Homo-oligomer: A and B are copies of this chain.
């Protein structure tokens, strides 16, 4: 049996575009002589469609699309994710099994994830049926994403009655360590079921999520025999020798046994060229996941160019590098907006960086604007000392300038704040937080350095100048300011944030890790008090198991303060 996995980059809501991609992959697989082709979960409408699912006409269009696709399926079995609807208008996260122009059967996902970034119980009903699909004389089990992760799920029923091949349609988002975790669980499932296992995963960015692909085909021994690319569209075509192992099968009832196609077409199969996939380090994956998430947010939202403030610091330098990798240097504009607090060093570094990246740099000094605010507020602020107010005004002028360029030229503004800052609120609402996409929002400062290092290493050159990497981080909003005046060293801060934010650890647990109680208490307080800022932040690529996005739903009004 020749199997194809179509690891596509679908776009939420783009029923026509997704349909075109599906039809093109179908054609390609048929030309390569595939007997069966598998697509990702909900590929017809994109994932996650969220409240689009509440629109009845959206469901209808999606059903129309899967019917049109079915008509194009000839001598191949296609398994395609879509939204099914029953007579009572209940919705199901479903897979259509199509052959010979017809939808022969439909599987409904059993296990609906409703945690982290997932809200599937908000929309779907769970499937309840055990169905085994007969394809060319073989027994096929089909399930969807979460179904294969959960213990005592439909997967166990499927392997208990006995199947030759298990097919899993996924839209499983990336986070650090996720591709390895996915591979581990799939390997266990193949071995436990003594069956071939093929998992086709979505690829692409969707708001804060990045789907990384890495589709997999495993032997009944759990050996990896095929793998899709990381964070790129891909098509994997492989021959599986399903006859190699004799199993015990349970008998199936009429309703459990569903015939999809009795035999495969006898067309001649062209030889397959096996492509070797290179493996990547964790840092590389992080980097390319952010690149893909950024590129897809820009392009899928109809933008061509982006603009960002280049401060001469490490954060904006890394964001510029990522943007250039995502959409090309010719589409990235940097703006340097010096004030009287801007050092010569940062100013010239921004220029060197832009030169290295071959991107355009605009300079717009903010001194006169800053003064005009001082004059306007003179009476109200008479007799009061300068404080964070004046610092924020500078940040907000810069935000306004970037937005003005965005408004005038249609460029998307990228923000450059990292996760450490976002966590403790070391950022200005409507200032440096102004923009459409927050590229490194989920990257702790210590990881920012790691990715900058990787970028330079890849180019075998200090593309991001060493002076930028070496300079103590500073917002340059007052004379001689550095981040460490207000915050603990980033190595310490990031350790606390990893524990408190990503793992929900308590103050006591963090102190038991060896961290200073007063510092931990202060950081926790800052995180708790900054919720209102994060609520108004733009989306950005999620790369950890808990980002400040859909997987972080803390109330703003929250008097819980655990102090001891």
- Listed in ascending order, the chain A residues whose CB lies under 8 Å from chain B are 11-15, 17, 48-52, 54-58, 61, 114-115, 119, 121-122, 205-207, 296-297, 300-301, 362, 364-366, 368-369, 371-373, 375-377, 380-381, 384, 387-389, 392-393, 396-397, 399-401, 403-405, 407-408, 429-430, 434, 436, 504, 506, 508, 532, 535-539, 552-562
Contact (Cβ within 8 A) B206 A50: no
Q: Given contact pairs A52-B558, A369-B376, A387-B407, enumerate 16 new A-B contacts (beta carbons under 8 Å).
A: A56-B504, A61-B562, A119-B122, A205-B557, A296-B557, A301-B532, A301-B557, A364-B376, A365-B376, A369-B372, A392-B404, A399-B430, A403-B429, A403-B430, A535-B538, A535-B539
A497 to chain B, nearest CB (A): 15
Specify which chain B residues have a CB less than 8 angstroms from the CB of A562 in the assembled complex: 57-58, 61
Beta-carbon contact of A554 and B400 below 8 Å:
no
B506 and A560 within 8 A (CB): no
Contact assessment for B380 and A364 in the assembled complex, using a CB-CB cutoff below 8 Å: yes
Can you report 21 A-B residue pairs in the complex whose CB atoms are below 8 A from each other? A14-B559, A50-B553, A55-B506, A61-B562, A119-B119, A206-B555, A301-B532, A301-B556, A364-B377, A364-B380, A368-B375, A369-B372, A369-B376, A377-B401, A389-B407, A392-B404, A396-B396, A403-B429, A429-B434, A536-B536, A536-B537
- In the bound complex, residues from chain B placing their C-beta under 8 Å from that of A504 are 54-56
* Other-chain residue from B57, B399, B407, B560 in contact with A388 (beta carbon distance below 8 A): B407
Closest Cβ of chain B to A52, distance in Å, is 6
Q: Are A49 and B555 in contact (CB under 8 A)?
A: yes
* Contacting pair B557 A12 (CB below 8 A): yes
CA distance A362 to B377 in the complex (A): 11
What is the bound-complex CA distance between A369 and B397, given in angstroms? 10
A430 touches which of B11, B400, B556 (Cβ 8 Å): B400
* A506-B553 Cα distance, complex, nearest whole Å: 31
Which residues of B lie under 8 Å from residue A115 when comparing CB positions?
122
- Let me know if B557 and A11 touch, CB within 8 A: yes
Residues of B within 8 A of A61 (CB): 562
Q: Which residues of B contact A368 (CB under 8 A)?
A: 372, 375-376
Q: How far is the CA of A532 from the CA of B301 in the complex (A)?
A: 10
Q: How far is the CA of A558 from the CA of B48 in the complex (A)?
A: 10
Contact of A532 among B50, B58, B436 (CB under 8 A): B436
Sort A-B residue pairs by CB-CB distance and give the 10 closest, nearest first: A13-B560, A14-B559, A389-B407, A372-B372, A430-B430, A57-B506, A13-B558, A369-B372, A389-B408, A13-B559
CA of A252 to CA of B408, assembled, Å: 74
- Complex partner residue of A556 from B207, B397, B508, B553, CB under 8 angstroms: B207
Distance, CA A553 to CA B205, complexed state (A): 17
Verify B121–A12 contact, CB threshold 8 A: no
Within the complex, what minimum Cβ distance (angstroms) separates A318 from chain B? 23
Of the candidates B114, B122, B434, B555, which one forms a contact with A50 in the assembled complex, judged by CB atoms under 8 Å apart? B555
Say whether, besides A12-B559, A55-B506, A403 and B408 are in contact (CB < 8 Å).
no
Closest to A115 in B: B122
Q: Which residue of B lies closest to A371 (CB)?
A: B372
Are B384 and A393 in contact, with the CB atoms below 8 A?
A: no
A14 near B560 (CB under 8 angstroms)?
A: yes
Contact (Cβ within 8 A) B392 A403: yes
Given contacts A430-B434, A560-B12, contact A366 B362 (CB under 8 A): no
Contact A559 B300 (CB under 8 A): yes
Closest to A373 in B: B369
Closest chain B CB from A303 CB (angstroms): 11
Which chain B residue has the least Cβ–Cβ distance from A385? B408
CA distance A362 to B553 in the complex (A): 37
A538 in contact with B536 (CB, 8 Å): yes
A299 to chain B, nearest CB (A): 10
- In whole angstroms, what is the CA distance A207 to B555 when docked? 7
Q: Which residue of B lies closest to A301 (CB)?
A: B557
Which B residues lie within 8 Å of A381 (CB)? 408
Contacts of A15 in B (CB 8 A): 560
List residues of chain B with CB within 8 A of the CB of A375.
368
Give A61 Cβ to nearest chain B Cβ, in Å: 7
The reply to whether B408 and A400 form a contact with Cβ atoms under 8 Å apart is: no
Distance A430 CA – B393 CA, assembled complex (angstroms): 13
The 8 Å CB contact of A392, one of B393, B407, B559, is B407
* B392 A405 Cβ-Cβ under 8 A: no
How far is A397 from B377 in the complex, measured between Cα atoms in Å?
A: 12
| A19 to B490 Cα, complex, angstroms | 38
- Report the minimum CB–CB distance from A532 to chain B (whole Å): 6
A405: chain B residues at CB < 8 Å are: 380
A296 to chain B: which residues have CB within 8 Å? Answer: 557
Across-interface contacts of A373 in B (CB, < 8 A)? 369, 400-401, 404
The complex places the Cα of A33 from the Cα of B222 at a distance, in Å, of: 70
Closest CB of chain B to A20's CB: distance in Å? 12
Q: Are A380 and B396 in contact (CB under 8 A)?
A: no
CA distance A56 to B369 in the complex (A): 49
Contacts of A539 in B (CB 8 A): 535, 556
Pick from B49, B301, B408: contact of A384, CB below 8 A.
Answer: B408
The docked-state distance in angstroms from the alpha carbon of A476 to that of B397 is: 22
Given A369-B376, A389-B404, A389-B408, do A555 and B13 touch, yes or no (CB 8 Å)? yes
